Amino acid sequence: MKILVTVKEVATVEDEFEIEGTEIAEQYLGADLNEWDDYAIEEAVQLQEDGIADEVVTVTIGPEDCEQTVRQALAKGADRAVRVWDDALEDVDLLDVNAKTEILSAVVEAEDPDLVLSGVQAGDDSFGATGVSVAENLGFQWGAVVNHLEHDFEDGLASVRRELEGGVEELTDIELPAVLTIQTGINEPRYASLRGIRQAQQKPLDVQTLADIGVDESDIETELELTDMYEPESESDATFWEGSPDETASELGDLLRDKGVAQ
């Protein structure tokens, strides 16, 4: 079985920040492997260790700067990586679900995996829609918000649990090829070993342009326009206790005694 994992480098924001136009000012931004994708990578690597997957390939949409994040996925055990970037993508304000679907679908078609694992959502724009959209686009089956995957694939089916609201899980069998969107907590993502980090430097990382994967620039034109970004107005009417830790702890202690919940 061949597995493709979508890997995104997400922007992280410091507690204090400023907004310039429809973006957060660059000096307050960091970059990290998308948390959900970390679990997707781990699941794929475990499938490889269990002898079920023969090859794990990652695919990323992003500029050269994000190669460090891609290497992180390789260091954790993926075999090789594909990174798609293009001058045409540089100026795009908001890469919407349809644009990402076009790009990722082209890579999935070229790679022809049995299983695609993607994170439920990205920590920055949080659309939570791309995995299912890619599946529908390619005629793959799919399951959203998967928090357990059986590693036997009996009868060519992926047996999964989907994490519904309120502590309920749905037990579902999904035909392959399929896209599963992976929820946090499905496994315990490993830290890359030093050996893994060294090996990752030697693993293939193919860079492809839109033309290379056969996607026309007009296919990624978005109908969505990001028009404003602002800090939500604080609705806090909390009483802020101030003072040293022993003073604030004492205030809280008084409250708990007043409410009769602690003595």
Angle, alpha carbons 130-132-138 (nearest 5°): 100
Q: Which of 31, 32, 88, 123 binds another protein (CB under 8 A)?
A: 123
Q: Which amino acid, one-letter code, is at 228? A: D
Q: Does 129 bind another protein (CB under 8 A)?
A: yes
Task: Give the nearer residue to another protein in terms of CB position, either 4 or 146.
Answer: 146
Q: Does 240 bind another protein (CB under 8 A)?
A: yes
Q: Which of 67, 125, 212, 219 binds another protein (CB under 8 A)?
A: 125
Q: Does 194 bind another protein (CB under 8 A)?
A: no
Task: Give the nearer residue to another protein in terms of CB position, either 72 or 133.
Answer: 133
Task: Give the nearer residue to another protein in terms of CB position, either 194 or 238.
Answer: 238
**Least separation, in Å, of the C-beta of 82 and another protein?**
22
Are 57 and 79 contacting, i.e. CB atoms less than 8 angstroms apart?
yes
- Please give the residues from 19 up to 48 whose contact with another protein meets the rule CB under 8 A: 19, 22, 24
CA separation, residue 45 to residues 122, 151, 222 (Å): 20, 12, 34
* Per rule CB under 8 A, count of chain residues that contact another protein: 87
29-33 and 55-61: which strand pairing? unpaired
Beta-bridged to residue 119, according to DSSP, are: 182
Q: Which of 32, 124, 212, 219 binds another protein (CB under 8 A)?
A: 124
User: d(Cα 130, Cα 138) in Å, to the nearest integer?
Assistant: 12
Task: Give the nearer residue to another protein in terms of CB position, either 31 or 207.
Answer: 31
Q: Does 96 bind another protein (CB under 8 A)?
A: yes
Instruction: Name 175's Cβ contacts closer than 8 Å, sequence gap at least 6.
Output: 141, 156, 157, 158
